[in-house]
Structure formats: structure tokens, C-alpha cells
Amino acid sequence: MSYAMLKQIRGIKFGLLSPDEIRKMSVMEIKTEDLYDRDGLPIKDGLMDRRLGTLEPGQRCQTCGLLWNQCPGHFGHLELAKPVYHIGHVKKIVEVLKAVCHNCHRLMIPEEKVVEYYARLERLEARRPEQIRMFVRKVVAEAAGSRTGEKALPNCPHCGVERRKIRLEKPVTIIEEKPEGDVKLYPDQVLMELTLIEDKRDVKLMGLDPEYARPEWMILTVLPVPPLVVRPSIILESGDRSEDDLTHKLVDIVRTNKKLNECVVNGSARIVIEHWWDLLQFHVATFFDNEIAGYPPTKHRSGRPLRTIAQRLKGKDGLFRGSLSGKRVDFSARTVISPDPSLTINEVGVPEHISKILTVPERVNRFNIDALREAVRRGPDDLFGANYIVRPDGRRIDLSRVKDRNEVADGLDHNYIVERHLRDGDIVLFNRQPSLHRMSIMAHIVRVLPGRTFRLNPAVCPPYNADFDGDEMNLHVPQSMEAQAEAKVLMLVQQQILSPRFGGPIIGAMQDYITGAYYLTKKGTMLTRDKLEQLLIASGVDLDRIPPPAVSKPESLWTGKQAFSVFLPADMNFEAKSNTTHKDCKQERCEYDDYVYIRSGQLLSGVIDKKAIGEGQPESLLHRLVKDYGSDVGRDFIDKAFKAFLYYLDHHGFTMTLDDVLLPADVVESIDELVREAEKKVEELIGVYGKGEMVPLPGKTLEETFEQRVMEVLTEVRDNIGNLAANHLNQESGALTMAKIGSRGNMLNLTQMAAIIGQVSVRGKRIYRGYTDRALPHFERGDKGARARGFVASSFSRGLNPIEFFFHAAGGREGLVDTAVRTSQSGYMQRRLINALQDLRVEYDQSVRTPNGMIIQYRYGEDGVDPSKSDAGKAVNVEKIVERVVTHE
């Protein structure tokens, strides 16, 4: 068996089918509309004829002799009694009729211009094929005399016959406007005229093609009947057959065609013939497209409109978007995810059950034969076994049907392929929808674990935007060695730490990692030898790296900063502000321990918090680590140091309690006082407004001005109360610490919990809707006071009264609606952006081009720098270099 590529699709030619071609590619002519005989067998010459392909297992196709899953299907054809228009081409037909002389059948453009235009067309074909369509449209318009700003030639420039007027009456009636009245042009007449267009240049200038798309082929005289694989019938549980929509439509066509044929042969009255002819036109049109304006859609017995050809292609679940651009795949799995901080960020925990279903094909050679024999012996039901063997002759052996697997294992030889179970160390792709950026699919290394969920290191949640409230993720197993190698080199998680969006780390610490880091590196953290050793062992660091203790008497003690420094490269220098930065921080001499200062791999001052190791923080410690020391060092830091943070936090203890958000009674008192003052101010404003003494702000109405003033007062009071509360909260409490160091929550959350929730806004305004002139019936009509319009003076800790609760819920609801609306809007925008830009790539000369060679940028980004390799957008970190070289001095 050879893997070499023998054939590759280089292009697809589109065109119209000529009647001859339709007959040639057909294996049979359809002659009857009946499908099955009384025994339920397909009728010969009917729409289900066996020669059109076979659907049932075990049967062979009567044309090609292949089995049901091999036969590609074969077209039949139906000779139409009278020609009908192809509904998709009617517009073009009318265009052609308008542009062509009905006497000499030439394009109504003077000969010299035809020569000129044709030369231009040929040039465009060679150089700018994307412009042909526009050019041709102009030529056709000129010939039809409908080009704006130009007068139509009243006569044909070739034969001098007067131009006629053509009109399309939707959907398919073509009418010639004669002085004596409108006359209908029948498809057979039009067919005749189109056939007589002979000049090949004319045909091309009309946007058609003399070889592949003759104008008359837009009218159907023979209908190709699609093979059975395109319209399979289903057998229902009840044993009844249910036919495909297309088959139903074809039955209509064949039946109508038969009637029409009878009428023609019998020489029926013109009106009768026309009736059946129109009906045939209708059926053929809806066979192609069942959503034509002017035609009622054909419906199924149940009232559901039929899904005919156009409907099958269209839309999100149509053939193009649903089956061709996006395909269903094998070797994939999906389940709920859960966290496991003991894995490295590169790993994914795969449930044992899944590992026994997903397989990797491995070719037997002298290096792996023993391992693969063992896998075969274990078989499909044991962990790290195998499911199938492919022999060199291509025969597949299903190991679940083999009686003695030992025998098969012993028979294993070079060039056999074993489809073995997924095992530790295999490379897989891991994905979470919506896949908004390239970090939504990354390669992980398999760790087979007990349980039923995929496990991942919580530090990789940000790129996937995953959490563990029931999220599910998908896993794919690359089968070829090329794919595995590519995944490992390009897509492995550690290669994706730096995001191409902003050139900073997208993987990093969140929540407890940050809290742990803070407590570990905080001033005053001291570790005894056994504590330190436990910490380092828990995070997988060699104990050789323990530095001399900071304090040696009465016992050896190490600072938390020393413990943290163990994880840093010995030559690292770094300085930056921390998240808590105090306003009079004196940089490296900061008294508040707010300035992170690292020299030669030693954290000398500063606490490590979100700014230093958090996700999405450019120019942070983590960023420098990954950028300057490579992704291996970066990954190692995340794996080990982060474990230390968690370990330290576990043993340090950390919690958040109600006490954290309770304020002393006197503070509560002054808060209430502030609220009362604010409410009084609002009352005053109402008074001023009511008396009509308010001066409107420029560009605003009186009411808008009033509302804005009130909002200002209420926002201000919340800010003031927030500051007051922040100063009186327990500074050492878990809640406040988290907000300060950036691990969870912010000051606003704390204010709302401890002191006051503040004004609830819906659509940026105070709440005013609900009842006539009031938001709730608990207030008087027209009450413009603070509380009547959604000001919530309670805090979460104190509790909300029912009215406040309602207002608060209204604000919360807006947030939900907002998110729902936004996702769909931004999703569509992104789809369009990707569709516009997806074909652009960097060439070897660093220019950015489209596949047809159009240059979009002469040098990518003007400096050729890849943002993911840049320093937060900068090509070169000049400051760093200068500092490094100069400080060496």
C-alpha cells in the first residue's frame, strides 16, 4: 500500500450542461413516474431504477456493479416535451435577449467596438480575471442600451433592424412590447433565437462561453435526473418507505411532462397545452429552487416546504457551510472538563474509557514491535491495548473478534499497522468552542487518568476561555506522523503562551495562584527548613537549589522571597510596579513593598501579584521569563512555581467571611448620613426642576439635564461611600486582599457588599419604566426621587428590601440581554473579517499577498515583525538591551 499522492485536484471548471452532454452522461431515460411495483421493487425506467445506483447493502449497482457504499451513483435523464427555462438563468436570458439583435443575432455593438472590447476581455482574462464580471456587465448594458448616460442605439449596428423591447414578468414570463401590444415569448422561441447566436466573440462578451456555456443551454430541453445517492429513500420503523424531497419533486415533473406530451401528441387546444407547459415550468423551477418569489413553495403532505437543490446548498447547515467547509471527523472525543493543577500546562487528562476508544495507528518496526505486541495482547478492553491490526495486504483484523490475541501478537511483523489505544505521551488537539482565536485549539500531551472528565491545568483556562461550571471540550487525535509532529512543534500549549494579539502572555496565574504568590512573597513570610523543603518538593524542585538561609539563629529561616527566587533563572533581572502600587512608592526603595525588584535571579523587594504573573499582563515577570528564556523555561516556571503558590496557600490558610465586609457601627452611621444628604440633594434638584428654575446644559433638554444632575449626585455619593468603606474595612481581610492584589473581585464589588449598591441603571438611565409615570406601584406617580428610580441604598451584607431587590434584578437582566445580543453581533463580524482576510499570507520576501498575487502589504506590518515574537508590539526592547549592557559596566 502506497501513501504517495497520485492525483490531486488542481481546479474545478464550471459550466452549463448541453442537452447532448446530459444524454451522454445519463445511463437511462426516465419514462414513468411510478417508483415501485406491488412487491415494493423499483420499477424499470422509473425514478428509483436500479441503474441509477443502489442504496441497499448487499445489492450491486446495475450500472457499475459496485456495492452500495462504493457506487458513486449515476445520472438519468428526462426528455422534456417542451423546453422550459432554468430558473436560475432567467435573468441572464433576458439580458441576452435585450443585448442581441432579433434579426441578425449579433450583439448590438458596432463591429469595431466588438473588436476592441474583445481584445480587452482577452487581456483581462490573462491578467485580472476578477475584473471580468464587471467589464462584461458594462458591455451587456451597452448592447442593451441601458447603460447610464448613454443613448441606446435605436437600430442594430449590424443589420439596421429596429431594436425591440423585452420585459421580464416575474417569475418566468418574457414579454416583447410591440406597438400593437404585449406578446409573450415562449421558451421554444427563445431557445431558437439563442441557438442562432453564432459569433463566438459576442458570446464571450456577454459573459457566456461558446464552449462551456452556450446561451441556449440555459433553457432545458432535457432534464438531468440526479442519482439515488443524492436522494436516498428512508425506511421508517413502521416499514414504510419515505422518499426524499427531490424524488417527490421529480415525480411531479415526470407526471406533468407526460401529460404535456400527451397533449402535444394529441394536438390539444393551445390553452390546454399552455396550462401543462406552465405547470411543467413551475415544477422544474421549484425542483431547482423552492423559494422563488412569485411561485408558491411546493409543500410536503405535512405542510413543510420541500428542501430542493438550492435549499440544500444554502445557509449554515447547507452543503457548503455545513458539509464542505466544515466536516465531521473520526478520532475525536468530547466530555466535561475539570481542573487538575498537578498536570503540567502541556498535558490533558484523558479518561481511561476514552483512551480505549480513540486509537493511533502505528506501523510495526524493530523498535516498537515488542510494545505493540504487548498492546495487541492487551486487546480492546484493557488499558493501553489495541483495537485493530492492518496487515500489509490491507486486511483489517478486529481484535475484539479474535479468539487468541497471543497468536495474533506473535504473528505481528514489520509493516503491520497496529491501531493502538491512546496512551501517555501521545499528542492530541484540544479545543473549546467558540474557537475565536488560534489558542482555542492547542496540542496537549495525553495523560490517561481514571474518571470521566478531561482534566487540564487551570492556568490554561484563559486562552480557551474555559471554566469548570459544566464546560465541555473536544479532543482530536492526529493520525499521521506529520500531523503529530506539526502539532507538537507548532501547537503545543507552551508554544502559545505569548498571544499574537498583543504580544504578551495569555497563559498565566489567576485567582488562588495570585493569592498564594502574594502571601508567599509578602514581607514577613518566613519558612523553616522543613516548611521550605516541603514546599519545594511539592512543586517538584530539586532541594539542591535551596539558598543559604536569611536568618540562621536561633534557627535557620528563609524568607518567602527567597523561596520564590528558587524558581527564577539565576541571571534574571527585572523590575516593575506591583498591582497594589502605593502612591508614594519610591521604586526599589519602596517602603510598602510594592516595587518588584529582581537582581540576578533574587527577588529583593516587592510582592508578586497579578501585575507580575497574571494572565494577559504584558511586560510582566512572566512575559520576560517566556520571552527571554524560551517557552521551556516559561512552562517550567508555570508548572512549578504555581504549584508552590497553591501549596503555600493551602498551608497558610485563606478564606473570605462575612466579617470581611462588615463595617463598624459608626461607619455605617456615617454612610447612612451620606445617603440622607444625597437624597436631600436630589430632593433639592427636584424642587429646582419643578419650579422650572433649572438651567439646561448646552445640547440637552431640561429633563435630560435634571437626570444627569441626579445621576452625578448619586454616583458621587457611591464613590464617597466606597472610599469611606475601603478605609474602614479590615485591611488584612481575605476579600480586600484579593481585590488589592488582583486575584478576584474589585473595589466596586467590595463597596457593594459592605456599604452600598448604588444607582441601578437600565440603558444608561435611571429606571423609569413599568407603570404609568412610576417604576413600581409603591411610589406616587411622578416621583422623581432617588429611591423611586432605582437607587439602592442597602448593601449586600445588610440585605435589600423587596423594592431594591426588584430594581437590582432589572439591572442584572439588562446585563444578560446585553451579552446575548453582543455575542451574535461580534460573531458575525468575526466571520466576515476572517472570510475577508483568510487567504492572505506572508511570502518569502515578507510581502503579504492574496492567492491571485495581489499585494496587500509590501512588508508585513511595515517592519516584518511577528507580533507574537515581538515585545508587546515593539520589535526590539531597546531599554532592556541598553540597561543590560550598561549595568554590566
Partner 1 sequence: MSEKLTHQKKSQVTEPAKEIRQRITELSSELLPEPVVDRLVELLSKRSISGRRLEEVVKEAVKQYLKSQVEPGEPVGVVAAQSVGEPGTQMTLRTFHYAGVREYNVTLGLPRLIEIVDARKSPSTPSMTVWLDDRHRFTRDQAYEVAKRILQVSVKDVLDNIEIGDGYLSFYLNPEEMDKHGILLDQVIDAVRGSLGKTRSEKATVEKEDDYSFTIINEEMTRSTGYRIKDKVMSVVLKGIKGVTKVYLERTKLSQPLDGHDEEWYIITEGSDLAKVLEVDGVDRTRTTTNNIYEIYQVLGIEAARNSIIEEIMKTLHEQGLEVDVRHVSLLADWMTESGQIKPVTRTGISVGKTSVLAKAAFEVTVSHLLAAAESAETDTLEGVTESVIVGNYIPMGTGMVDLMVNLRALKNV
Q: Which residues inside 825-844 make contact with partner 1, applying CB under 8 A? A: 825-827, 829-830, 832-844
Within residues 400-429, the interface with partner 1 by CB under 8 A covers none
Give yes or no for residue 862 binding partner 1 (CB under 8 A): yes
Give yes or no for residue 209 binding partner 1 (CB under 8 A): yes
Minimum CB separation of residue 310 from partner 1 in Å reads 5
Cβ atoms within 10 Å of 498's Cβ, excluding its own: 25
Q: CB-wise, 10 or 151, nearer to partner 1?
A: 10
Give yes or no for residue 863 binding partner 1 (CB under 8 A): yes
CA–CA–CA angle 306, 311, 317 (5° rounding): 115
Minimum CB separation of residue 397 from partner 1 in Å reads 27
Give yes or no for residue 748 binding partner 1 (CB under 8 A): no
Give yes or no for residue 183 binding partner 1 (CB under 8 A): no
Minimum CB separation of residue 136 from partner 1 in Å reads 7
Within residues 561-600, the interface with partner 1 by CB under 8 A covers none
Give yes or no for residue 8 binding partner 1 (CB under 8 A): yes
DSSP SS3 for 417: strand
Backbone phi, psi, residue 241, to 5°:
-90, 140
Instruction: Find the Cα–Cα–Cα–Cα dihedral 433, 437, 438, 439, rounded to 10°.
Output: -70
Within residues 610-639, the interface with partner 1 by CB under 8 A covers 618
Q: CB-wise, 148 or 838, nearer to partner 1?
A: 838
Residue 764 to residue 750: CA distance in whole angstroms: 22
Q: Positive or negative, the Cα torsion across 618, 619, 625, 629?
A: positive
Residue 702 to residue 693: CA distance in whole angstroms: 10
Q: Positive or negative, the Cα torsion across 252, 258, 264, 270?
A: negative
Residue 290 to residue 521: CA distance in whole angstroms: 70
Minimum CB separation of residue 605 from partner 1 in Å reads 25
Segment holding 816, helix H or strand E:
helix 802-837
Residue 162 to residue 179: CA distance in whole angstroms: 12
The size of the interface with partner 1 (CB under 8 A), counted in residues, is 109
Give yes or no for residue 1 binding partner 1 (CB under 8 A): no
| Near partner 1 by CB under 8 A: residue from 314, 391, 423, 531 | 314
Give yes or no for residue 73 binding partner 1 (CB under 8 A): no
Cβ atoms within 10 Å of 664's Cβ, excluding its own: 10
Minimum CB separation of residue 877 from partner 1 in Å reads 7
Q: CB-wise, 66 or 856, nearer to partner 1?
A: 856
| Near partner 1 by CB under 8 A: residue from 1, 9, 271, 665 | 9
DSSP SS3 for 849: strand
Beta bridge partners of 498: 505
Query: Closest Cα partner for 384 from 404, 411, 412, 355?
Result: 355
Q: CB-wise, 330 or 404, nearer to partner 1?
A: 330
Residue 388 to residue 371: CA distance in whole angstroms: 15
Give yes or no for residue 851 binding partner 1 (CB under 8 A): yes
DSSP class of residue 589 equals G
Residue 159 to residue 145: CA distance in whole angstroms: 16
Q: CB-wise, 13 or 691, nearer to partner 1?
A: 13
Residue 747 contacts residue 725 (beta carbons within 8 Å) = no
Give yes or no for residue 488 binding partner 1 (CB under 8 A): no
Q: What is the largest CA-CA distance in the chain?
A: 121
Q: Which amino acid, one-letter code, is at 426?
A: D
Residue 60 contacts residue 54 (beta carbons within 8 Å) = yes
Give yes or no for residue 690 binding partner 1 (CB under 8 A): no
Give yes or no for residue 10 binding partner 1 (CB under 8 A): yes
Residue with cell 497553591: 646
Sequence-distant (6+) residues with CB within 8 A of 109 are 117, 139, 142, 143, 157, 205
Residue with cell 456599604: 755
Q: CB-wise, 271 or 886, nearer to partner 1?
A: 886
| Near partner 1 by CB under 8 A: residue from 207, 226, 458, 516 | 207
Give yes or no for residue 822 binding partner 1 (CB under 8 A): yes
| Near partner 1 by CB under 8 A: residue from 232, 318, 569, 811 | 318
Q: CB-wise, 573 or 877, nearer to partner 1?
A: 877
Minimum CB separation of residue 833 from partner 1 in Å reads 4
Backbone phi, psi, residue 289, to 5°:
-150, 120
Give yes or no for residue 697 binding partner 1 (CB under 8 A): yes
Give yes or no for residue 816 binding partner 1 (CB under 8 A): no
Give yes or no for residue 486 binding partner 1 (CB under 8 A): yes
Give yes or no for residue 269 binding partner 1 (CB under 8 A): no
Give yes or no for residue 472 binding partner 1 (CB under 8 A): no
| Near partner 1 by CB under 8 A: residue from 438, 599, 640, 728 | 438
Span interacting with partner 1, options 61-69, 231-239, 314-322, 576-584, rule CB under 8 A: 314-322
Give yes or no for residue 315 binding partner 1 (CB under 8 A): yes
Residue 794 to residue 803: CA distance in whole angstroms: 11
Span interacting with partner 1, options 65-73, 161-169, 321-329, 603-611, rule CB under 8 A: 321-329
Span interacting with partner 1, options 24-32, 294-302, 501-509, 566-574, rule CB under 8 A: 501-509
Calculate Rg over the CA atoms of the chain: 38
Residue 712 contacts residue 759 (beta carbons within 8 Å) = no
Give yes or no for residue 716 binding partner 1 (CB under 8 A): no
813: left (phi over 0), alpha (psi -120 to 50) or beta: alpha
Span interacting with partner 1, options 5-13, 46-54, 576-584, 640-648, rule CB under 8 A: 5-13
Minimum CB separation of residue 248 from partner 1 in Å reads 20
Minimum CB separation of residue 836 from partner 1 in Å reads 5
Residue 368 contacts residue 362 (beta carbons within 8 Å) = yes
Q: CB-wise, 115 or 436, nearer to partner 1?
A: 436
Minimum CB separation of residue 407 from partner 1 in Å reads 34
Q: CB-wise, 650 or 879, nearer to partner 1?
A: 879
Give yes or no for residue 887 binding partner 1 (CB under 8 A): no
Span interacting with partner 1, options 378-386, 399-407, 434-442, 584-592, rule CB under 8 A: 434-442
β-pair type (441-449, 347-351): parallel
Q: CB-wise, 14 or 367, nearer to partner 1?
A: 14
Residue 498 to residue 433: CA distance in whole angstroms: 20
Give yes or no for residue 764 binding partner 1 (CB under 8 A): yes
Give yes or no for residue 746 binding partner 1 (CB under 8 A): no
Instruction: Find the Cα–Cα–Cα–Cα dihedral 634, 635, 638, 640, rounded to 10°.
Output: -110
Instruction: Find the Cα–Cα–Cα–Cα dihedral 765, 770, 772, 776, rounded to 10°.
Output: -100
Give yes or no for residue 72 binding partner 1 (CB under 8 A): no
Query: Side by side, which strands form the sheet with 595-599?
Result: 574-577, 595-599, 602-605
Give yes or no for residue 490 binding partner 1 (CB under 8 A): yes
Residue with cell 432589572: 810
Minimum CB separation of residue 594 from partner 1 in Å reads 22
First to last CA, the chain: 65
| Near partner 1 by CB under 8 A: residue from 61, 121, 136, 449 | 136
DSSP result, 81-132: EEEEE-GGGHHHHHHHHHHB-TTT--BSS-HHHHHHHHHHHHHHHHH-GGGH
Minimum CB separation of residue 203 from partner 1 in Å reads 10
Give yes or no for residue 823 binding partner 1 (CB under 8 A): yes
Minimum CB separation of residue 85 from partner 1 in Å reads 13
Minimum CB separation of residue 437 from partner 1 in Å reads 4
Give yes or no for residue 812 binding partner 1 (CB under 8 A): no
Beta strands in 699-840 (DSSP E): 758-759, 761-762, 765-766, 791-792
Minimum CB separation of residue 625 from partner 1 in Å reads 16
